């Protein structure tokens, strides 16, 4: 029985020779992401900015958005954004932070409720106050840093320090690029987006570690081949696996994107981007870094000898 | 690698069967499960608010408001202490920052001042075992006669902690009276209270019930002056009524009675007007005071004040001696009922403000579950189809492993009582995507070994042997990331981390045991001589 083979056997793609182009490309994308992040900035949601989001479903199947807009903007609550999501009568109302703190937010919600209670069902209301939004942002950033630290320690124990540094830099590259993705697409950046980014860290590390594992093994097997060729061989050996796993993950993510409903669509889109970025990053950043950081196969073999001696 | 002892096989299969049984109740409705015999596992997954609808309200003690009120009452207490015989002359008594200060005229009285103010420092018991008691206020008496009583950081923190504890109790009593919801009320950090009420479809009512301070006071109305006049007597305040537009009243600041003097409150109907009213009963001490005051003030109005708003200001027609009365004030049946609940449950010790609120309607929750389920089924089916196309028979084995994996995730979530949220479903789907990675790693290894010229069985054996180390490294790193997220994250991040962390763990379990067992059984059955992967 013939099975589907996406990647032919014995591929010999010279990834490390390509690093002249791919590594600067990764660096460029990262730097651009950082620049965009600080100049344009992401479209922060209420989780980080504070404010109010209300989702309603109007009883009218085709509501008059213009009228709704003018009604809400006439309430004197500042700029109130109105947009449909999914079905025509599913409407998202967004409102920035009100002057006057938490009580003003509550009062604003009350006004909107009174104005719309006859024509719509209130499906979701989220209000995040200014203090909480700041805390959510700092907690999220802290979670990310602790994750990096914990992983670095694990990889450092299991591999050489170059691997630890490489996996962290590669994961950071994925995170930065995914932030860049949010800036470019202007998808709302909220707590769920943060969860998406943090997941891509996990995925990226998973992928990097699998590649590193193979590089380490190849290093032990062939002690005379130059490091670049060694890494190429390892990556090519794993190419079938990398592609198949990426495909299955993308299948799962796309089904979530298409059928999972409006609420997690932005979340899955970011993850789809993150998965692709992770693959790119583990081949084009994590692997070359080993060369740039001067990992030598003789170091590996020395360590092996010591370990062997210890066992004997 | 491919040899399993009998007891090992039994152990692995037992784990899988137990997992199946634990996850089983989730397929049925709550009512069906309740009717099952007692020995069957009945526990069902806890669904997050985003899936079943409900309210999430994060309250914070309004420190500034509390401190201001507390200091104002401290000013009154200090004034009283100074007026005791022999009187102590002072000047400049007032609130200053986080404290109260005054200047004593006669410096020889400083020791007496210390003695009188000492009890007002208000020792607060610390809840922690063996903790030392903290005074609410620090007292400093300067040799120049300047006396200050101010909050220390420790004193204020301890006070806020107590307020949070008391508030949790009061909120619990209030929600209990509603009877319909099973809320969770928890302390968050030092000055916050999280109220979660799943399955609630009227969040506004919950908000009015939980958030109201409900401080009830009775005051005599000063009808002698207009509320806008400058000639108000000292010791009076102006408060507005709840009417629109609000009507201002001049009241004597010192209340005749407070909510503390109430022993009971019920929503009833006024026998004459048939309007909903709240009738109350006073404690015997309260009844005595009330009788006294009403006797002396016939034909004068008194105001019933709730949270600094006048709800009604009836005129005293005759002395009220029985210790009961009623509050009327344009109530609906529900608002009368709610007020009665608030009065029975007691007032909050300080104002609480909502700093975060998330309400999900039950309709949206049901929609989310439906689309989550559809996505999960389609995603799993598509991944399974792809695996069979790529690996044939071994693809089927991978699929069985993935499905068992998903069932195990749900059973662990059920057993742990963890909450399944929408991001949690996303976590399961991601696990499906990556769980096949362990199978792919194994299968690709087997192919490589076979192409390198080993026999089929030796290739399979070596494939497992070499792949498992990689699987361990890859999954442990992912697991670390997921665990960190779980401990540090909140809301959707945590919901995702729960299922993702469990998913990584079950993936390792299935790769190391279940998948291996299935492959071993297949090898024993078919005795393959060639590997067609």
Whether residue A297 has pLDDT greater than 60: no
Q: What residues of chain A lie within 8 A of the CB of B444, using their CB?
A: 238, 240-241, 244
* Contact list, B386 vs chain A (CB under 8 Å): 4, 247-248, 251
Tell me the CA distances in angstroms from B117 to A16, A34, B70, B125, one per residue in order: 80, 60, 16, 19
Answer whether B251's CB lies under 8 Å from B282's CB.
Answer: no
Closest-CA distance, A270 to chain B, in angstroms, reads: 13
How many A/B residue pairs have CB atoms within 8 Å? Answer: 232
Decide if A194 and B473 are in contact by the 8 Å CB cutoff.
no
Per-residue pLDDT of chain B (533 residues; tens, 9 = 90+): 678 888 988 999 999 999 999 998 888 888 888 888 888 888 888 888 888 888 899 999 988 888 988 898 888 888 888 888 888 888 888 888 888 998 988 888 888 888 888 888 887 766 555 556 788 888 888 888 888 999 888 888 888 988 999 999 999 988 887 776 678 899 988 899 999 888 777 778 888 888 888 888 888 888 877 777 777 777 778 888 888 788 888 888 888 888 888 888 888 888 888 888 898 888 888 888 888 888 888 888 888 898 888 888 888 888 888 888 888 878 888 888 888 888 888 888 888 988 999 988 888 888 888 888 898 889 889 999 999 999 988 899 999 999 999 999 999 999 999 989 888 887 887 788 778 899 999 999 998 899 888 998 899 999 999 999 899 988 888 888 888 888 887 778 888 889 999 999 999 999 889 999 999 999 888 888 877 76
* Chain B residue with minimum CA distance to A50: B356
Across the interface, whether the CB atoms of A195 and B485 are under 8 A apart is answered yes
Alpha-carbon gap, residue A305 to B13, rounded angstroms: 42
A202: left (phi over 0), alpha (psi -120 to 50) or beta: alpha
Minimum-distance CB partner of A147 among B361, B440, B484: B484
CA B215/CA B386 separation, integer angstroms:
65
pLDDT of residue A312: 43
How close, in Å, is residue A209 to chain B by CA atoms?
A: 5
Quote the ipTM score: 0.84
**Contact residues, chain A, for B533 at CB < 8 Å:** 3
Res A122 pLDDT > 90? no
Give the closest-approach CA distance of A114 to chain B in angstroms. 12
B379 contact residues in A (CB cutoff 8 A): 251-252, 255-256, 259
Q: Do B386 and A268 make contact, defined as CB atoms within 8 angstroms?
A: no
Residue A310 has pLDDT above 60, yes or no: no
Beta B54-61 vs B192-198: how paired, if at all? Answer: antiparallel
> What residue has token string 């949010």?
A182
Distance to chain A for B411, nearest Cα, Å: 21
Which of A182, A186, A206, A211 has its CA nearest to residue A194?
Answer: A182
| Distance of residue A202 Cα from the nearest chain B Cα, in angstroms | 5
What is the average per-residue pLDDT within A112-124? 85
Q: Does B359 touch chain A (CB under 8 A)?
A: yes
Q: Which two tokens stand for residue B59?
A: 């309250």
Q: Is B351 at the interface with chain A, CB within 8 A?
A: no
Give A2's pLDDT tier (boundaries 50, 70, 90). low
Mark which residues 248-287 of A lie under 8 Å from B by CB.
Answer: 248-253, 255-256, 258-261, 263-264, 267-268, 271
CB contact under 8 A, B434 and A136: no
Q: Which long-range contacts (CB under 8 A, 24 or more apart) does B10-19 make?
A: B12/B513, B12/B514, B12/B517, B13/B517, B15/B509, B15/B513, B16/B404, B16/B408, B16/B514, B18/B411, B19/B404, B19/B407, B19/B408, B19/B411, B19/B412
Cβ atoms B292, B284 nearer than 8 A? no
pLDDT, mean of residues A227-250: 90
> φ and ψ at B278, to 5 degrees?
-110, 120
Rg (CA), chain B: 34
Question: Cβ distance A252 to B425 under 8 Å?
Answer: no
CA separation for the pair B349, B78 (Å, rounded): 21
DSSP at B311 = E
CB contact under 8 A, A237 and B383: no
Whether omega before B245 lies within 30 degrees of 0, making that bond cis, reads yes
Rounded distance, CA B517 to CA A87, Å?
48
User: What pTM was estimated for this model as a whole?
Assistant: 0.80
Q: What is the pLDDT of residues A8-64, one digit of tens each?
A: 877 888 888 888 888 899 999 999 999 999 999 999 888 888 889 998 888 888 888
For B488, the closest of A123, A142, A154 (CB atoms) is A142
What does pLDDT average to over chain A?
A: 85
Q: Does residue A47 contact residue A196 with C-beta atoms inside 8 Å?
A: no
Smallest CA-to-CA distance from B512 within B467, B482, B476 is with B467
């Amino acid at each position: 029985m013939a099975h589907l083979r996406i990647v032919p056997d014995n591929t010999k793609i010279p990834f490390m020779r390509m690093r002249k182009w791919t590594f600067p490309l990764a660096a460029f994308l990262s730097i651009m992401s950082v620049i965009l992040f600080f100049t344009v900035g992401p479209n922060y949601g209420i989780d980080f900015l504070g404010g109010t989001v209300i989702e309603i479903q109007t009883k009218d199947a085709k509501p008059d958005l213009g009228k709704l807009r003018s009604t809400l903007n006439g309430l004197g609550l500042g700029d109130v954004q109105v947009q449909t999501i999914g079905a025509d009568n599913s409407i998202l109302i967004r409102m920035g932070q009100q002057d006057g703190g938490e009580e003003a937010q509550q009062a604003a919600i009350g006004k909107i409720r009174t104005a719309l209670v006859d024509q719509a069902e209130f499906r979701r209301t989220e209000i995040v106050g200014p203090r909480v939004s700041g805390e959510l942002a700092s907690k999220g950033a802290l979670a990310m840093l602790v994750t990096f630290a914990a992983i670095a320690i694990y990889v450092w124990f299991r591999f050489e320090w170059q691997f630890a540094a490489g996996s962290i830099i590669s994961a950071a590259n994925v995170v930065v690029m995914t932030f860049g993705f949010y800036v470019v697409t202007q998808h709302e950046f909220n707590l769920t987006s943060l969860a998406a980014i943090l997941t891509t860290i996990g995925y990226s590390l998973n992928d990097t570690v699998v590649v590193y594992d193979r590089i380490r093994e190849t290093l032990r097997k062939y002690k005379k081949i130059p490091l670049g060729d060694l890494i190429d061989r390892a990556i090519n050996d794993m190419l079938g696996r990398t592609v198949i796993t990426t495909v299955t993950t993308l299948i799962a993510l796309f089904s979530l994107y298409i059928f999972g409903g409006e609420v997690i669509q932005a979340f899955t889109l970011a993850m789809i981007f993150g998965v692709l970025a992770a693959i790119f990053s583990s081949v084009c950043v994590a692997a070359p870094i080993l060369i740039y950081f001067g990992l030598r196969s003789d170091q590996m073999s020395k360590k092996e000898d010591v370990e062997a001696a210890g066992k004997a | 690698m491919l040899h399993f002892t009998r007891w090992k096989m039994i152990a692995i299969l037992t784990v899988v069967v137990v997992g199946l049984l634990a996850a089983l109740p989730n397929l049925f409705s709550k009512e069906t499960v309740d009717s099952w015999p007692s020995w069957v596992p009945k526990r069902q997954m806890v669904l997050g608010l985003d899936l079943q609808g409900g309210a999430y309200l994060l309250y914070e003690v309004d420190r500034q408001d509390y401190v201001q009120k507390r200091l104002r009452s401290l000013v009154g207490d200090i004034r009283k202490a100074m007026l005791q015989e022999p009187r102590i002359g002072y000047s400049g008594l007032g609130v200053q920052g986080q404290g109260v200060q005054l200047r004593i005229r006669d410096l020889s009285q400083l020791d007496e001042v210390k003695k009188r103010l000492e009890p007002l420092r208000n020792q607060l018991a610390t809840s922690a075992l063996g903790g030392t008691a903290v005074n609410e206020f620090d007292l400093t008496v300067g040799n120049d006669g300047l006396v200050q009583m101010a909050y220390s950081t420790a004193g204020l923190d301890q006070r806020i902690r107590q307020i949070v504890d008391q508030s949790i109790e009061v909120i619990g009593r209030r929600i209990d009276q509603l009877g319909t919801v099973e809320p969770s009320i928890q302390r968050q950090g030092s000055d916050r209270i999280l109220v979660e009420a799943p399955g609630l479809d009227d969040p506004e009512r919950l908000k009015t019930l939980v958030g109201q301070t409900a401080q009830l006071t009775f005051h005599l109305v000063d009808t002698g002056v207009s509320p806008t006049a400058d000639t108000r007597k000292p010791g009076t305040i102006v408060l507005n009524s709840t009417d629109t537009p609000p009507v201002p009243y001049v009241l004597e600041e010192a209340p005749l009675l407070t909510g503390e003097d109430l022993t009971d409150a019920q929503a009833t109907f006024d026998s004459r007007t048939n309007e909903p009213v709240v009738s109350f009963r006073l404690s015997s001490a309260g009844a005595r005071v009330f009788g006294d005051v009403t006797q002396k003030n016939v034909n004068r109005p008194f105001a019933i004040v709730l949270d600094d708003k006048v709800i009604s200001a009836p005129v005293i027609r005759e002395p009220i001696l029985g210790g009961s009365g009623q509050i009327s004030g344009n109530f609906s049946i529900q608002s009368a009922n709610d007020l009665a609940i608030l009065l029975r449950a007691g007032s909050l010790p300080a104002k609480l403000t909502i700093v975060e609120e998330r309400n999900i309607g039950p309709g949206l929750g049901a929609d989310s579950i439906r689309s989550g389920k559809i996505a999960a089924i389609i995603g799993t089916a598509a991944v399974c189809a792809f695996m069979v196309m790529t690996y044939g028979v071994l693809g089927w084995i991978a699929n069985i492993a993935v499905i068992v994996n998903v069932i195990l995730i749900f059973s662990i979530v059920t057993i742990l009582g963890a909450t399944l949220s929408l991001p949690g479903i996303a976590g399961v789907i991601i696990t499906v995507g990556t769980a096949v990675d362990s199978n792919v790693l194994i299968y690709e290894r087997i192919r490589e070994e076979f192409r390198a010229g080993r026999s089929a069985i030796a290739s399979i054996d070596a494939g497992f042997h070499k792949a498992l180390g990689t699987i361990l490294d890859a999954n442990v790193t992912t697991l670390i990331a997921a665990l960190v997220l779980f401990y540090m994250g909140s809301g959707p991040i945590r919901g995702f981390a729960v299922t993702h962390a469990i998913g990584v763990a079950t993936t390792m379990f299935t790769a190391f045991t279940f998948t291996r067992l299935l492959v071993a059984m297949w090898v024993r059955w078919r005795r393959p001589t060639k590997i067609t992967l």
